[in-house]
Amino acid sequence: MSVADACELCRDAGGEVLWQDELCRLVLVADPDYPGFCRVVWKRHVAEMTDLDAAERRHLMSVVFAAETALRATARPDKVNLASLGNVVPHLHWHVIPRWRDDRHFPNPIWGKAVRESKSPSAVDGGKLREVFVRSLAEEQAGE
């Protein structure tokens, strides 16, 4: 079995694809506790940021920053967490996670033990998120 066959982010999108280009994709993760939770997934199977050249790193981070900007504008979270772990899935991807002071895990990471019951946060409109993301990405890349 090849690495790509074994890797879930090579096999599957990892969520609802909101946007993609030849290098990476922005996906909306179906997580009812964290509406608007996105992943930016590098398409080619690499594990680390330093597997990318400088231009690819800049491109990837411009997508991550545009996703954060769009998430802040559409979901209005109290905080946004950016995380690139890859311990479970060693395929380069960034999590862009909206956080609220009263979410299940705040102030802890979402992967830890919940500290309170889940409430029903407001849903995020994926179409609006995509629209704001595309505008934000154009602005981000124009500033490079």
**In this predicted model, what pLDDT tens digit does every residue of 32-45 receive, in sequence order?**
899 999 999 999 99
Backbone angles phi, psi at 19, to 5 degrees: -165, 150
Least trusted range by pLDDT, from 13-22, 34-43, 109-118: 109-118
**143 found inside a domain:** no
CA distance 72 to 86: 24
Quick one: CA dihedral 143, 138, 129, 90, positive or negative? negative
CATH number at 77 reads 3.30.428.10
CA distance 48 to 90: 8
Domain that holds residue 30: 3-137
**10 found inside a domain:** yes
**121 found inside a domain:** yes
**144 found inside a domain:** no
* Amino acid 143: pLDDT: 82
Total domains in the chain come to 1
**142 found inside a domain:** no
